[in-house]
Amino acid sequence: MYWNKDLETMPREKLRSLQLERLKRIVKYAYEKVPFYRKRFDTSGIKPEDIRSLEDIKYIPFTSKADLREVYPFGMFAVPLSEIVEIHSSSGTTGKPVVMGYTKNDIEVWKEVMARSITTMGVTREDIIQIAYGYGLFTGGLGFHYGALAIGATIVPASAGNTRRQIELMRDFGSTVICCTPSYALYLAEYAKDEMGIDPSSLKLKAGSFGAEMWTEEMRREIEKRFGIKAYNVYGLTEIIGPGVAHECSEQKGLHIWEDHFYPEIIDPETGEPLPEGERGELVLTTLTKEGVPMIRFRTRDITAFISGECPCGRTAIRIERIRGRSDDMIKVRGVMLFPYQIEKAILEVQGVEPHYQIILTRPQHLDEIEVQVEMSKEAFSDEVRELEVLKKKLEKRIEETVGIRVKVTLVEPKSIPRSEGKAKRVIDKRGL
């Protein structure tokens, strides 16, 4: 099922010429309207006319999150505020927030890509879609809202939080689709079962769109099992548009990037050089149609790879792998690079623990140590010390096999790791303190 069949199944050659035409236009537009870009281009000796093919994009300098912070709040805006109809912003927890402005047309584009995204899950106007992403400055809630509105589905704008109410809404309204972060989805399932005596698989849900944080295939299976639904990956970021940059189709094998609006590249995060198809690196995105704040070669910090080959779903937009972490939450421990997802994967392969964990990094004697706190499942509790030790050893071994580093596993009480209604905090780095 497609939302916009012509564009979603457009032959690749045609798509590429559309991209080139739009790339040329946006580069010229950015150069003329945003002093930041003009300065960048001039310093590197590039003129918009130098872009003659899609490959020429590699001559354009990157834009980083730090750049966007420097021009806080409206320095990247290409239009006067009177043209801006909506403003969104990142939370600013790791520095100054990043502010994005949308023109009327930008909102239309957002609607379009979100409608396509939601339709990939088979959602129609007959569905009841519960949006449990935060509404407000965070782009999650409104992004899904616009998409669902375009489709004509029945929206339950629950927003994030108020877990008991979320479950009551799903039960009483018969919501068929849920959208939230994957860690919150697991919490919802757990809460329904343990606190309300409701079997999450007895709800009418059939599908869910989960994103805004890194998650694994193992976690997908867990969510699918607990709710009895199909769980899809959604990808997006405030700097580009919000959710709806890419979404998984019914094949659940990678996320289609809506390439007529966003031009993707994968680069080596160390050198900045483009990587060949299939190799894992940092995703760089260029908005091809955005008017409010055009983004040229934005370094997302998200680690992924292109998936080659045609997708059986018929969509021609290229797919990326699920996000493997961020180049800035890559943990460097004793010289080895690792990502939280690797640890999550290992944990979920072992029976007897819950998919809730936290990674704590310390440096007690000039040497990094990793402690992984894992919640034991209620059912697995044995009053034999030996059996718990076996479980702990099993986890330590599995994690060591996966990441190549010895870690210390601590079994903690069920429900003792803080639950989050938004993005889960997986890593606590105490080394710098």
Amino acid identity, position 22 = R
Of these, 35, 310, 413, 428, which contacts another protein (CB under 8 A)? 413
Cβ at position 234, least distance to another protein in Å: 34
Does 355 help bind another protein (rule: CB under 8 A)? no
Cβ at position 227, least distance to another protein in Å: 24
Size of the site for another protein (CB under 8 A): 17
Give the residue from 400, 404, 348, 358 showing the smallest Cα distance to 217.
348
| 3 state DSSP class of 290 | coil
Of these, 416, 428, 430, 431, which contacts another protein (CB under 8 A)? 416
Which distant-in-sequence residues (6+ apart) come within 8 Å of 347 by Cβ? 353, 355, 357, 372, 374, 395, 398, 399
Does 195 help bind another protein (rule: CB under 8 A)? no
Task: Work out whether strand 319-320 and strand 255-257 pair parallel, antiparallel, or are unpaired.
Answer: antiparallel
| 3 state DSSP class of 118 | helix
Cβ at position 183, least distance to another protein in Å: 20
Whichever of 279 and 389 has its CB closer to another protein, that residue is: 389
State both tokens at 403: 């990441």
Cα–Cα distance for residue pair 27/47, rounded to 1 Å: 9
Does 351 help bind another protein (rule: CB under 8 A)? no
Q: Point out which span in 89-97, 143-151, 376-384, 421-429 binds another protein (CB under 8 A).
A: 376-384
Contact 86, 102 (CB under 8 A): yes
Q: Point out which span in 223-231, 253-261, 355-363, 373-381 binds another protein (CB under 8 A).
A: 373-381
State both tokens at 272: 């900045």
Cα–Cα distance for residue pair 429/408, rounded to 1 Å: 15
Whichever of 172 and 384 has its CB closer to another protein, that residue is: 384
Give the residue from 110, 109, 108, 101 showing the smallest Cα distance to 83.
101
Cβ at position 376, least distance to another protein in Å: 7
Query: CA 408: distance to chain centroid?
Result: 29
Q: Is the peptide bond before 73 cis (omega within 30 degrees of 0)?
A: yes
Does 374 help bind another protein (rule: CB under 8 A)? no
| 3 state DSSP class of 427 | strand
Does 376 help bind another protein (rule: CB under 8 A)? yes
Whichever of 94 and 382 has its CB closer to another protein, that residue is: 382
DSSP H helical ranges for 35-152: 35-43, 65-70, 104-119, 139-151
Whichever of 363 and 415 has its CB closer to another protein, that residue is: 415
| 3 state DSSP class of 323 | coil
Per CB under 8 A, contacts with another protein among 56-95 are none
Does 18 help bind another protein (rule: CB under 8 A)? no
Does 356 help bind another protein (rule: CB under 8 A)? no
Per CB under 8 A, contacts with another protein among 377-406 are 378, 381-385, 388-389, 392
Contact 267, 277 (CB under 8 A): no
Whichever of 167 and 417 has its CB closer to another protein, that residue is: 417
Per CB under 8 A, contacts with another protein among 32-51 are none
Cβ at position 193, least distance to another protein in Å: 14
* Cα angle, residue 319 at apex, residues 6 and 11 outer, rounded to 5°: 30
Cβ at position 135, least distance to another protein in Å: 32
Cα–Cα distance for residue pair 123/3, rounded to 1 Å: 10
Of these, 28, 412, 423, 427, which contacts another protein (CB under 8 A)? 412
Whichever of 178 and 376 has its CB closer to another protein, that residue is: 376
Q: Point out which span in 3-11, 321-329, 338-346, 374-382 binds another protein (CB under 8 A).
A: 374-382
DSSP-derived secondary structure for 154-174:
EEE---S--HHHHHHHHHHHT
Of these, 141, 200, 242, 414, which contacts another protein (CB under 8 A)? 414
Of these, 204, 280, 363, 415, which contacts another protein (CB under 8 A)? 415
Contact 56, 49 (CB under 8 A): no
Whichever of 28 and 415 has its CB closer to another protein, that residue is: 415
Q: Binding residues for another protein, per CB under 8 A? A: 376, 378, 381-385, 388-389, 392, 410-416
